[in-house]
Structure 1
């Protein structure tokens, strides 16, 4: 692979890619345990598929932004290394599937040529930072949150405080009180606000914390009604430090931050966050939003190619449902419906080439798996439609009832129980053929996941489904859990959908027919679906759908999932949404040594806060290894610290003046200065060397500290 390294211009990325290549080789040679390698590759966006021997690559697009050049680059990469398909996700990423592991370093190199990364797109890291797709052009926004989302993305990428947490961490920026990025359902979600302070208009954010979807959805707490903008990144850093130290690591189902806050209580969690401030790398972080680089705009006198619109009536519906006037009064933006989030590389290049003269060079992947095109002159809207129409991507009704969100489900995901994409296609057909006027309805959102984990966001849908199974006569058939009543209220307030009833999957279209017919027949004038749901009550809808649960009328087809030819069987693999906890003493000591080396590198680069955190990680990993050698399992870093005092210090096995806790938690008692970074590194190095000596000579006494 020597030949492609010379193409890299970013030495940090080059180091990442060389390390990935080395680790793949060591893994293939049996020198790295599979569990450890899984953790490493996930943090580099490489995710195992349902199909053995191939990988899904997740490309991290901060707040969903991509230039036309980046879009083309990803298309070319998909052709060369994957299947020629781009899958747009609900986290505003792009995924490509069926990639050979050995090809991933080369693939990453090609992506980096246009400043595209896969780093920390998966694993126990800060995942892709999402944002309202309208940010920067939203007529309702107090200010453009894009520069702040971008700053957060860059600040936490490769940041030592969030490289190997107990679980993934999700951050979202909404552009206005409409909260279209769902701040209420994220580990940290923010909404822009402006307050007058001392006679000046000051930018800040309402900060929500501890929300989440998954099998157990939680609505976020309000951390701040107003936090000044230059305090946001330092606050997020303190939260990550608390989560890293106190978060669950043994049981991944209880490892998200929402469970930590539930366990500690919000008041105690907030106290711990405040305690971390002294150790922060920065106390304020100013984002100079006034010098934010605007996208390259289309020329006002651009000469467009000749075009024709095949379906003028469809254009008018598309313009009414997919286009809107930006806050920049001279321009429109237009949404593109991308069915199931899948668009081929061939069509992508066709659209890119056609749209170049007519749109701004800033395309956004939307959270419902579509695209947003920006800075379109009003006179160019018909041309933009014609380009999309020719490519087969000009369907109206973006984000309407007809625009269903679905995760990949059993197509590729290890965790999926039943098909998401097949049922989504069937439901869209029901709406198209039987309820065509609902293409204008943007109140009802339909979302589908292949399992309870809510990657398709069913937990906040007005009408949601997630994959499940039921038994009948000793045989298993695919099923759908029906959820109702979820959605956005606004300004950080949301609704979690109720689990109402479970039905065989093949009856999903009948569920939708029953719900929409009942709503049309009985809703009051202008009554929104969720208001109707509240008025009628959950029991009403349970009774409405109960006849569809009757298993005495099953047909052979009911035992075959959507889009499948064989009878249904639940075949759930090992999920990789978070890295696996490693309980191997040698591996833990190796990780401690790696952290120690990272501490040295950071010291040499005068990155004192980073060096301190790497030294802290050395203490933790090394202590965990020693405890494991004694048969003591710990599930949090705080537990490791306390248990080391109990099993080593208090028993006299390892004398440390003041104890291990006092030694390690110096990290909270000092500013991240050069002198402390050097002293703390030396203490961590001495501790590791003593542990290494003990491991090499189990019968030897531990040297005095």
Structure 2
């Protein structure tokens, strides 16, 4: 493959150039001993540079991809960074960022320049800031959307980038957009989640939004709550800024463990929180940063929904269709995908292709194993995107979706993705296990969550269960839910276990998490078990579900019928056993490790 050269003469936005220049100055002063460690830590976090477990000069650099929108030049820049400054690959996060690990601190300004040359930034990707603004990756291509939220998410990201109120918040602040109640953008567990909605006005229908606030995961998950019944398009950005300002004014600053917006509900009560947000919004007109009215980006690009193709039936209110998990767009019910012995292309098309938009285009997923994309794959994605004239977006399940395709382009896309190992059937289905970075690089993780994700995917493949639809598996290496284990059908979080006088890697298994239909249910505990037995536990649960489910029955409803997580957990009780170390030495070694397990927790920069 020919390596694409990055254009070093590209014009860089003055604001980004100022960020780079300041980073260089601050880094020089820090190395000279003029800036204390704690001050430098906050500064680099606000610039998307995060310390990792290995310490020293090793850094993780996080790149924001607002609404997940990626262009060929973005992929090429990411390829260059992976190849030149990291370990040969980048990692997609559950918030549509791209992370690079083992970047040396002295190289960060050069990385920033490469990104700035294509309009990307690390600014406010970490720290107590407004983080990357997410959007449903099928926005503008989904037959069930009320509005195409693409331009809204972009406008929100631009409004808060370098915004004075977005720099030193009590804690991080996350904003998500979804185009319909299905909530593929996962608005229901964020500080501010926006879902496109309608209301009847004077005999007509007005499109706008429902704004949900104070959601969050972490060790203490909290569902987002509806701020009001309906928010007009003109009022949306002022409403979001009002939420941010109230959080800045009233959020805990002396206790980082209780500093997220969800804790304001406990501190103030929800009615008082609402009152303060509405009051802030009312008088925001007097502010120099008032963002009222329809944003220019929305005026230019529009927000009209994709519309339904004639073959797609309307979906009743409250029965959203989550295309990302292959809920059948004809009936809105979660349906298992049957793969059988079809040819690889047929398997891929059945499992990875989404149809149904009125304009007749199709979308197709490219599978990124464990959310990782190599430098060569990044370059190839750029080539494929240019050749097909497609639009690409990063998904919140760590894949890439190609959009605006025609039917006749699908064979060529499959051929191209196959050549780079990204055409696995079942992207975003059961085999597509989501995991945080875990103990590979994170200071808080106690287990190798990525290794477990790989083991579960392989075990599902062996059992012929990898392409089951309507089920999702998420893994975190600790209780903090960076892998979003609370919100998945089957979730795991890492925990140290003690057996036969020795430490061993273990997990808590949760069942029944769900996000959709403008609601969220957090998974509940089923049982604890050794890390090595977690793949078998998944296989048993999935096998039982597929054998016993009623027509169109979702996992959470089957779980309720079986008596809940604890009852299903009882059927797995034999898996919560550790053999003697001599009989099963692998039980005392974590995935992707070679030596005895040891739970090592360092100082976290998550709460800095």
1:198 deviates by 4.1
Task: Give me the whole-angstrom Cα distance separating, in 2, the residues matched to 1:127 and 1:484.
Answer: 29
Q: Is 1:426 the equivalent of 2:430?
A: no
Partner residue of 1:506 out of 501, 507, 532? 532
| Residue matched to 1:529 | 555
Task: Give me the whole-angstrom Cα distance separating, in 2, the residues matched to 1:329 and 1:290.
Answer: 21
Structure with the bigger percentage of helix = 1
| Residue matched to 2:290 | 282
Contact 2:183 2:515 in 1 (8 A): yes
TM-score by length of 1: 0.76
Moved over 6 A (4+): none
1:148-227 to structure 2, matched below 5 A, reads 148-198=152-202, 201-227=205-231
Partner residue of 1:449 out of 456, 476, 480? 476
Return closer, same or farther for 1:228/1:401 CA change in 2, 3 Å cut-off: same
Partner residue of 1:15 out of 18, 30, 40? 18
Task: Give me the whole-angstrom Cα distance separating, in 2, the residues matched to 1:161 and 1:290.
Answer: 25
* Other structure's SS at 2:12 match: coil
* Other structure's SS at 2:235 match: helix
Q: Is 1:458 the equivalent of 2:467?
A: no
Q: Is 1:248 the equivalent of 2:252?
A: yes
Q: Is 1:144 the equivalent of 2:173?
A: no
Return closer, same or farther for 1:111/1:121 CA change in 2, 3 Å cut-off: same
1:517 deviates by 2.9
| Residue matched to 2:587 | 558
Task: Give me the whole-angstrom Cα distance separating, in 2, the residues matched to 1:470 and 1:405.
Answer: 23
* Other structure's SS at 2:234 match: helix
| Residue matched to 1:348 | 378
1:374-523 to structure 2, matched below 5 A, reads 374-436=403-465, 438-439=466-467, 441-490=468-517, 492-523=518-549
Partner residue of 1:44 out of 47, 50, 58? 47
Return closer, same or farther for 1:516/1:326 CA change in 2, 3 Å cut-off: closer
Task: Give me the whole-angstrom Cα distance separating, in 1, the residues matched to 2:35 and 2:496.
Answer: 37
Task: Give me the whole-angstrom Cα distance separating, in 2, the residues matched to 1:541 and 1:203.
Answer: 43
* Other structure's SS at 1:227 match: coil
Return closer, same or farther for 1:373/1:326 CA change in 2, 3 Å cut-off: farther
* Other structure's SS at 1:551 match: coil
TM-score by length of 2: 0.88
Greater mean deviation of Cα atoms: 261-270 or 520-529: 520-529
1:386-409 residue CA offsets vs partner (Å, 9 max, x unmatched) = 000111111011221111111111
| Residue matched to 1:292 | 301
1:154-177 residue CA offsets vs partner (Å, 9 max, x unmatched) = 001100112111110111001211
Task: Give me the whole-angstrom Cα distance separating, in 2, the residues matched to 1:528 and 1:234.
Answer: 38
Task: Give the count of matched residue pairs.
Answer: 556
* Other structure's SS at 2:404 match: strand
1:574 deviates by 1.5
Task: Give me the whole-angstrom Cα distance separating, in 1, the residues matched to 2:74 and 2:544.
Answer: 46
1:519 deviates by 2.2
Task: Give me the whole-angstrom Cα distance separating, in 1, the residues matched to 2:379 and 2:66.
Answer: 22
Partner residue of 2:350 out of 305, 316, 320? 320
Contact 1:247 1:256 in 2 (8 A): yes
Partner residue of 1:229 out of 230, 233, 256? 233
Contact 2:181 2:516 in 1 (8 A): no
* Other structure's SS at 2:483 match: coil
Contact 2:364 2:402 in 1 (8 A): yes
1:331-368 residue CA offsets vs partner (Å, 9 max, x unmatched) = 211011111110101122123224422142x3101000
Contact 2:385 2:392 in 1 (8 A): no
* Other structure's SS at 1:229 match: coil
1:510 deviates by 1.8
Contact 2:62 2:125 in 1 (8 A): yes
Task: Give me the whole-angstrom Cα distance separating, in 2, the residues matched to 1:194 and 1:271.
Answer: 23
How large is the Cα RMSD of the aligned pairs? 1.9
1:602-617 to structure 2, matched below 5 A, reads none
Return closer, same or farther for 1:566/1:73 CA change in 2, 3 Å cut-off: same
Contact 2:71 2:382 in 1 (8 A): no
1:617-628 to structure 2, matched below 5 A, reads none
* Other structure's SS at 1:470 match: strand
1:34-60 residue CA offsets vs partner (Å, 9 max, x unmatched) = 111111100100011111221010000
Contact 1:479 1:502 in 2 (8 A): yes
Task: Give me the whole-angstrom Cα distance separating, in 2, the residues matched to 1:414 and 1:473.
Answer: 27
Task: Give me the whole-angstrom Cα distance separating, in 1, the residues matched to 2:65 and 2:546.
Answer: 40
Task: Give me the whole-angstrom Cα distance separating, in 1, the residues matched to 2:546 and 2:39.
Answer: 54
| Residue matched to 2:326 | none
* Other structure's SS at 2:43 match: helix
Task: Give me the whole-angstrom Cα distance separating, in 1, the residues matched to 2:360 and 2:171.
Answer: 45
Task: Give me the whole-angstrom Cα distance separating, in 1, the residues matched to 2:38 and 2:580.
Answer: 46
Contact 1:49 1:56 in 2 (8 A): yes
1:42-84 residue CA offsets vs partner (Å, 9 max, x unmatched) = 0100011111221010000101111111111111122222122
1:247-296 residue CA offsets vs partner (Å, 9 max, x unmatched) = 112222111100112211011112222332324432623125342189xx
Greater mean deviation of Cα atoms: 213-222 or 551-560: 551-560
1:597-617 residue CA offsets vs partner (Å, 9 max, x unmatched) = xxxxxxxxxxxxxxxxxxxxx
Return closer, same or farther for 1:330/1:538 CA change in 2, 3 Å cut-off: closer
1:526-553 residue CA offsets vs partner (Å, 9 max, x unmatched) = 4322111111123312311222112355
Task: Give me the whole-angstrom Cα distance separating, in 1, the residues matched to 2:555 and 2:144.
Answer: 24
* Other structure's SS at 2:25 match: helix
Task: Give me the whole-angstrom Cα distance separating, in 1, the residues matched to 2:245 and 2:488.
Answer: 32
* Other structure's SS at 2:231 match: strand
Task: Give me the whole-angstrom Cα distance separating, in 1, the residues matched to 2:241 and 2:102.
Answer: 35
* Other structure's SS at 1:367 match: coil
Q: What residue ranges of structure 1 are gaps of 5+ in the alignment?
A: 295-310, 581-705
Q: What residue ranges of structure 2 are gaps of 5+ in the alignment?
A: 1-6, 304-340
Return closer, same or farther for 1:527/1:230 CA change in 2, 3 Å cut-off: same
| Residue matched to 1:337 | 367
Greater mean deviation of Cα atoms: 498-507 or 546-555: 546-555
* Other structure's SS at 1:228 match: coil
1:497 deviates by 0.3
Q: Which has the larger radius of gyration?
A: 1
| Residue matched to 1:271 | 275
1:228 deviates by 0.1
Return closer, same or farther for 1:472/1:130 CA change in 2, 3 Å cut-off: same
1:669-688 to structure 2, matched below 5 A, reads none
Task: Give me the whole-angstrom Cα distance separating, in 1, the residues matched to 2:561 and 2:383.
Answer: 50
